[in-house]
């Protein structure tokens, strides 16, 4: 059987780090993942996916991420249920995280908080700053003319 989930998104809040009675670290967090299509109003919607991570990885995740962090998550989907105080059965679906990646540096995260991001359907996210500040001469999306004599081969 295969049960794998891979997510790329931003944290909706700071991870909530707790410890079990046995001393095992556990962190809960939610990742907002944009859908690849737009709704009838032309807006992009997001799915909010609950995740749980355990032990040392939970402590590291909680120490190095915060609300708005761009993360990659790899894990498995896990369902559970419990009875609430009113006696109703409540079902949960979480991603039990096996691995995670921090997808932006601390400096990028801080600068991204100050800039608006726009979504470009051909290449994902692109910053709205000019190409001089990020060092990418192709960031503006304009075509560059290169003659055969300019090529090194």
> pLDDT, tens digit, for every residue of 87-119?
999 999 999 999 999 998 777 666 665 554 443
pLDDT digits (tens, 9 = 90+) for 6-43: 999 999 999 999 999 999 999 999 999 999 988 889 88
Give how far the C-alpha of residue 41 lies from the chain's centroid of Cα atoms, to the nearest Å. 24
Contacts of 94 (CB under 8 A, 6+ apart): 50, 51, 52, 77, 78, 79, 80
Q: Pick the more confident residue, 66 or 149.
A: 66
Q: How many CB atoms lie within 10 A of CB 111?
A: 15
Q: Pick the more confident residue, 91 or 128.
A: 91
Predicted local distance difference test score (pLDDT) of residue 114: 54
Predicted local distance difference test score (pLDDT) of residue 127: 41
**Beta partners for residue 68, in sequence order:** none
Find out whether 97 and 57 touch, Cβ atoms under 8 Å: yes
pLDDT digits (tens, 9 = 90+) for 38-89: 888 988 899 999 999 999 999 999 999 999 999 999 999 999 999 999 999 9
């Amino acid at each position: 059987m295969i049960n794998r989930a891979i997510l790329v998104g931003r944290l909706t809040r700071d991870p909530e780090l707790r410890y079990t009675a046995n001393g095992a670290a556990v962190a809960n967090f939610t990742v907002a993942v944009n859908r690849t299509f737009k709704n009838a109003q032309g807006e992009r919607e997001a799915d909010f996916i609950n995740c749980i991570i355990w032990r040392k990885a939970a402590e590291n995740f909680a120490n190095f991420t915060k609300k708005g962090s761009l993360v990659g998550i790899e894990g498995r989907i896990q369902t559970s249920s419990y009875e609430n105080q009113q006696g109703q059965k409540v079902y949960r679906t979480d991603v039990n995280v096996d691995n995670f990646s921090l997808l932006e540096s601390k400096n990028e995260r801080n600068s991204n908080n100050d800039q608006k991001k726009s979504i470009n359907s051909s290449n994902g996210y692109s910053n709205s700053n000019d190409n001089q500040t990020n060092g990418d001469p192709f960031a503006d999306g304009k075509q560059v003319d290169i003659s055969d004599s300019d090529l090194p081969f």
